[in-house]
Amino acid sequence: MTTVSETPQKTMVISRRLRESIRLHLESIYPEKDSRALTRQVLEAYWGDGAVPRKRGRVAGNNMWSADNTYVITYGNSIIDGEHKPLSLLQDFVTENLKGVIKGVHILPYFPYTSDDGFAITDYRAVDSGLGGWEDIERIGREFRLMSDLVLNHCSSQSSWFNEFRMGHEPYKNFFFTASPDDDLTSVVRPRAHPLLRKVETAEGDKHVWCTFSHDQVDFDFSNPEVLLEFLRIMRFHINRGVRTIRLDACAFIWKEVGTSCIHLPETHEIIRLMRVLADHSEESIVLITETNVPNVENLSYFGNRNEAHMIYNFSLPPLIVHALMTGTSQFLNAWQMAMPPAQMGCAYFNFTASHDGIGLRPAESLLSDEAIGEMVETVKSFGGRVSMRQLSDGSMRPYEMNVSLFDALKGTVKGEDEHNIARFLCSQTIAMALEGIPAFYIHSLLATSNDYEGVEKSGHNRAINRHRWNYDALQEALADETTQHAKVFNAMRELIGIRTQQPAFHPNATQFTLHLGEKLFGFWRQSVDRTQSIFAINNVTDETLEIPAMALNLIGGERWVDLVTGETVGDAKISFAPYQCRWITNRT
């Protein structure tokens, strides 16, 4: 064992294995730096406030989570009333309505910011005073597993850090990535269409800073170890305030090298591996989730070899589910599902169907044809949605995401609107609940919120269409009226989630096989880790009434099979499905 002096009052005991693991990662990231000195700095940055590491790192396994792990995704001000702190209202809502149903709460960036609804941060150590304070965040963290964003790639151009950079002050003078307009940047993968570089005046003359997402969001330069060390300090600061799941926002872009794609570079993966080592050696149960809105194969790479993210967003799921329910065919959803590898032990898919962003289309590339994507985009536009574009290396534009409330995206099919909006929407959620992984529900999906056109008009941003702010009194009134779409969906979702969380076969790492039931049905079989429970999750993705013979499921004889959703016993006869009906047929209730 070796030691590191942490404070004048305390000495931290560090195992040689942990120290060497950190050093090797740092040596790969910064080969020209003194890796031993950097190791001491990393230990002091992450554990330098009195926290101590575990003697041994957590072993990756399926005991990190269970079937009752679920999340709700929300902004700190998704619920307001003009009188109380929004975070206080959020706590009241989730406690009164979701306690015992939802286990985790992901509060989207709640820090002071200047744009992009929180993702252009000015201070990583403060709570936006318009939302509340750290006491509100910590209160929610005591009742739910708290997920928080670590916005690694960039910060606000109006932050004190960037002002210090412009004035040439240490240590910030080298905190941000710069390039020349004469550099060859044609290989850079762009998620946006604006010019990549922004010219700014500094004490050392004009510089061109790198702006992946907007000119108000200036990218950091992680080739400077001080940037990494500062973010490790911020990680610890957030952990000390109750954060247990850390979302690494836009992490695919954090390492840049001129002349490359500047996405998924080896150093990026190495930084995440380093963070995984620190998380697994934390006394607190820390989970890392990477947010990489990219094609499926690229996204899967962030599991590493069970040594990078604990969870990855299942980004291909939203566009594929929407396509299946719009067109009435599970062809592409089935093909994708059959090709998806099971998550390794200690890893899990984060299954969502909607978020604060739009429905991403990059993850559907190579999974859906251009014609299929085009048809889906046009259908969404006919239902009041918007489309955001990205620029390709040749200067052409391509759809990047569909901006729409998921409830409104599913108000009909490619044939037009119909009467199956609620059933179709619930089908989308039921599929996500049953798939291998951990389900997460955007608050506006739980509430069946429609497109917010006023928000788009006021902000001038397409994404505002799915970022409605509910007046708390109006929300409570809507949920109390059982005839509203909001009450119908919310009550049904609570019931389904309640059923789901009690089933061992829905453990995030339980076995899953895709069923071959034809294109009108999307079905898969789940089996609990201990093999005592099987569930056949079968979903009608059409507006037709369908039937299948019970023998098509190969139900084990001598056992009583029951549909968990309806309570019906399934016999030897045919099994019927109403339009968009979902069944969870199990041998154990």
In a domain, 122, yes or no: no
Whole-number pLDDT of residue 11:
62
Indicate the DSSP class of residue 20: H
Question: Looking at residues 331-341, what average pLDDT do you find?
Answer: 96
Give the 3-state secondary structure of residue 563: strand
What's the burial of 447, exposed, middle or buried (CB within 10 Å: 0-12/13-18/19+)?
buried
pLDDT per residue as tens digits for the range 188-240: 999 888 999 999 999 999 999 999 999 999 999 999 999 999 999 999 999 99
Give the 3-state secondary structure of residue 227: helix
Tokens read off for 42: 């990393």
CATH of the domain at 536: 2.60.40.1180
Whether pLDDT at 4 is above 50: no
The answer to whether 351 touches 439, Cβ cutoff 8 Å, is yes
In a domain, 3, yes or no: no
The answer to whether 453 touches 445, Cβ cutoff 8 Å, is no
| Neighbouring-strand partners of residue 245 | 147, 287
Whole-number pLDDT of residue 8:
43
Q: Between residues 395 and 383, which one has the greater pLDDT?
A: 383
DSSP letter string, 93-133: HHHHHHBTTB-EEEE---S-BSSGGGTSBS-TTS--TTT--
Name the pTM for this structure.
0.95
Question: Looking at residues 461-470, what average pLDDT do you find?
Answer: 96
In a domain, 344, yes or no: no
CA-closest candidate to residue 36, choices 20, 16, 60, 50: 20
CA-closest candidate to residue 291, choices 238, 234, 246: 246
Using DSSP bridges, classify how beta strands 311-313 and 287-290 pair: parallel, antiparallel or unpaired: parallel
In a domain, 437, yes or no: no
**Domain of 576?**
511-586
The answer to whether 115 touches 218, Cβ cutoff 8 Å, is no
Question: Looking at residues 397-421, what average pLDDT do you find?
Answer: 96
In a domain, 542, yes or no: yes
- CB count in 10 Å sphere of residue 249: 21
Whole-number pLDDT of residue 396:
85
Question: Looking at residues 290-299, what average pLDDT do you find?
Answer: 92
- Cite the active site residues: 249
Q: Tell me the C-alpha distance between 374 and 372, whole Å.
A: 5
Whole-number pLDDT of residue 443:
98
Q: Between residues 416 and 49, which one has the greater pLDDT?
A: 416
The answer to whether 269 touches 307, Cβ cutoff 8 Å, is no
Sequence-distant (≥ 6) Cβ neighbours of residue 171 within 8 angstroms: 226
Residue list, annotated binding site for substrate: 116, 154, 247-249, 356-357, 463
In a domain, 564, yes or no: yes
Q: What are phi and psi of 223, to 5 degrees?
A: -70, -15
The answer to whether 248 touches 272, Cβ cutoff 8 Å, is yes
The answer to whether 151 touches 219, Cβ cutoff 8 Å, is no
Average pLDDT along the chain:
95
| Neighbouring-strand partners of residue 290 | 248, 312
Tokens read off for 441: 């529900």
pLDDT per residue as tens digits for the range 471-505: 999 999 999 999 999 999 999 999 999 999 999 99
Number of domains observed in the structure of the chain: 1
Q: Tell me the C-alpha distance between 73 and 484, whole Å.
A: 22
Whether pLDDT at 129 is above 50: yes
pLDDT per residue as tens digits for the range 431-443: 999 999 999 999 9
Q: Tell me the C-alpha distance between 524 and 22, whole Å.
A: 41
